[in-house]
Amino acid sequence: MLLQSRQSRPHKPQVKSRQFQLTSDCDSPPSLDVKQLALRYRETRVLEDVNLSIPAGKITALIGPSGCGKTSFLNCLNRLIDLTPQTRMSGQIQLEGRDIQQFPVIELRRQVGMLFQKPNPFPLSIYRNIEFPLREHGVCDRNEIDTIIETALKDVGLWHEVKDRLKSPALALSGGQQQRLCLARALALKPCVILMDEPCSALDPISSEIVEDLICQLKGDYTVVVVTHNLAQARRVADQVALFWVNEGVGQVIESGPTQQVFSEPQHSLTKAYVSGRRG
């Protein structure tokens, strides 16, 4: 059934990154290195002693049971966590060797884009959804904006579906289209890293498959970190997997490694139980 829909899909999305005119600091996708990361919400310890190397240009999937800190970890990587009051983060996160605390936060969030579980287009037109952040980041030339918007929408396979109604409200799009628009909005800023928090979980199976295809196409040009509860999806898309677990009340990475290895030859007994569906 799904295979049929794949074959009959009219416009298979093609992510052709790095063709925009926006200047970027990144000539190639960067690695992320997390060392001794700890996080507290007020007095509640959420993450402790998290160490993880996220390879450049690859897809890393974060898996683990609910509440073990995957989203919190993701939010640390572009300092979105700074927006949550009374959080305390310690340890170090390096983006291509540079501590993320040294980046101006707006620049960090441009370089490290994010896609959320629930598509979150602005309550604006399809066009304005991409134009608005571009202008915020200093892109003002109308022709350049038009080119970037068309390219980004083509990249996510949405152009032919929306080119005649760019001024229509983005919220009138289907959930899957909204999620692709959000990805186009992120890509338009020419990030180097894309964080995704369960990007398919709110979508129907066909839309989910389209977004999953897009994730795979980002590989090589972007460093991708994706949180997913769908183990089959992690297995399909990821080069590397990290399993988070709550240990003595605090989230930790208990095992990470190449996807094939973690699923086929897990080292930790909890990993074995989780990937086989016996725990979690």
Ligand X SMILES: Nc1ncnc2c1ncn2[C@@H]1O[C@H](COP(=O)(O)OP(=O)(O)OP(=O)(O)O)[C@@H](O)[C@H]1O
Smaller CB distance to ligand X: residue 57 or 91? 91
Q: Are 73 and 47 spatial neighbours (Cβ–Cβ below 8 Å)?
A: yes
Tokens of 14: 């093609």
Smaller CB distance to ligand X: residue 17 or 71? 71
> Which window, 16-24, 61-69, 92-100, 155-163, contacts ligand X (CB under 6 A)?
61-69
Smaller CB distance to ligand X: residue 67 or 205? 67
Tokens of 164: 């005649």
Binding mask 19-58 for ligand X (x = CB under 6 A): ----------------------x--x-x------------
Q: How far is the CB of 27 from ligand X (least distance, A)?
A: 32
Smaller CB distance to ligand X: residue 81 or 126? 81
Q: Which residues are bridge partners to 52 per DSSP?
A: 34
Smaller CB distance to ligand X: residue 42 or 142? 42
Contacts within 8 Å (CB) and 24+ apart, 167-171 = 167/125, 167/126, 167/127, 168/125, 168/126, 169/123, 169/124, 169/125, 169/126, 170/121, 170/122, 170/123, 170/124, 170/125, 170/126, 170/128, 170/129, 171/121, 171/123
* Of the candidate residues 67, 168, 269, 279, the single one contacting ligand X (CB under 6 A): 67
Residue 116 binding ligand X, by CB under 6 A: no
Residue 5 binding ligand X, by CB under 6 A: no
Q: Which residues are bridge partners to 222 per DSSP?
A: 219
For 232, other C-beta atoms within 10 Å of its C-beta total 8
Query: In 3D, which of 153, 187, 155, 194 has the Cα closest to residue 170?
Result: 153
Residue 70 binding ligand X, by CB under 6 A: yes
Query: In 3D, which of 236, 252, 228 has the Cα closest to residue 61?
Result: 228
* Of the candidate residues 37, 68, 130, 243, the single one contacting ligand X (CB under 6 A): 68
Residue 66 binding ligand X, by CB under 6 A: yes
Q: How far is the CB of 148 from ligand X (least distance, A)?
A: 32
Amino acid 24 reads S
Q: How far is the CB of 270 from ligand X (least distance, A)?
A: 15
Give the footprint of ligand X on this chain (CB under 6 A). Answer: 41, 44, 46, 64, 66-72, 84
